[in-house]
Amino acid sequence: QKAARDLHQLGCQCILVKGGHLADDATDVLFDGDTFHFFHSKRLDTINTHGTGCTLSSTIAANLAKGMPIKEAVEAAKAYITLAIEHGFVLGKGVGPVHHFYELYTKAGLSC
């Protein structure tokens, strides 16, 4: 919360502080200058997390472009990235990617 307040004082209108590297759950904090909003998700035991930050930020941007208010845009993006992390996959060696299209694959009846 302090980091969000400090960044807000530098001129940012809304700040999202990601909590993916915290020890407990993966709680993100959104500060709009007046109110803190907390977005909780369980910690997922996986190394396949390549692209999480870029995916989260671009999903928020896409949701805002669709006209969603900031809180709802972040909430939907958090749900999307959590599902993508949960179904990430091994590709090559080391940290694998998240599964951006998991929901589409399941809706189409394809195996992931």
**Residue from 11, 20, 27, 51 carrying the catalytic annotation:** 51
Q: Is 78 a catalytic residue?
A: no
Q: Is 51 a catalytic residue?
A: yes
Residues 11, 36: Cα–Cα separation, whole Å: 17
**Residue from 14, 19, 52, 59 carrying the catalytic annotation:** 52
Q: How many CB atoms lie within 10 A of CB 30?
A: 21
Q: Is 54 a catalytic residue?
A: yes
**Residue from 14, 19, 49, 88 carrying the catalytic annotation:** 49
Q: Is 18 a catalytic residue?
A: yes
Could you identify the residue written with the tokens 């590709």? 91
**Residue from 12, 33, 42, 53 carrying the catalytic annotation:** 53
Q: Annotated catalytic sites, by residue?
A: 18, 49, 51-54
